[in-house]
Copies of this chain bind each other. A is one copy, B any other.
């Protein structure tokens, strides 16, 4: 565990590998301006009602957001700038639970940019099965720097997100 903590040659080669083509299939895909990530429901996601536990949809949604930014090469997923371009943290979310997902389901996590402010990114997200939304949510994420302070979204990130913004 000790050695692995300081970045090393292995670390570097690993990082470069992450942004390479082999990583892409796990990061979902863009369908027009909507990011789509497939996730499988495992036992860990369900609860004693036999359904996906309500907080776990927020995990799925975070996977979707993270992989959309990863695909776009934004923020900490920027292979050059990394964290310097800022991180996004959730300030607000509003979620509707319309129907339950179950063990073994394959779900589509759909993420689209609903708005882009000076320091704030609004996302619309949905968890869908067979074309039917089970959970929908609006998430407001704020851009922060490494010290946790709010910061303006950089022009570089703004440019990448702007053209996905459906209400621009």
Chain B residues with CB under 8 Å of A161's CB are none
Which of A52-60, A110-118, A120-128, A152-160 binds B?
A52-60
Q: What is the total number of copies of this protein in its complex?
A: 4
> 8 Å CB contacts to B: which residues of A18-74?
18, 22-23, 25-27, 38, 40, 42-44, 46-51, 53-56, 58-59, 62-63, 66-67, 70
Q: How large, as a class, is the contact surface on chain A?
A: 35 or more
Chain B residues with CB under 8 Å of A38's CB are 26
Q: Is A168 an interface residue (CB 8 A)?
A: no
Partner of A55, one of B56, B67, B70, B87: B56
Is the CB–CB distance between B48 and A58 below 8 Å? no
Whole-angstrom CA separation of A149 from B89 in the bound complex: 31
Whole-angstrom CA separation of A105 from B48 in the bound complex: 13
Majority DSSP secondary structure for residues of A touching B: mixed
Chain B residues with CB under 8 Å of A70's CB are 104
Using CB atoms and an 8 Å cutoff, list the residues of chain A in contact with chain B: 1-6, 10, 13-14, 17-18, 22-23, 25-27, 38, 40, 42-44, 46-51, 53-56, 58-59, 62-63, 66-67, 70, 76-77, 87, 89-97, 99-100, 102-106, 129-130, 132, 142, 144, 147-150
The contact sample of 29 A-B pairs, CB cut-off 8 A, is A1-B89, A1-B144, A2-B144, A2-B148, A4-B99, A5-B100, A6-B147, A17-B130, A18-B106, A22-B106, A23-B106, A26-B38, A26-B40, A40-B63, A40-B67, A43-B66, A44-B53, A44-B59, A48-B102, A49-B89, A54-B58, A54-B93, A55-B55, A55-B58, A58-B58, A92-B96, A94-B94, A94-B95, A95-B95
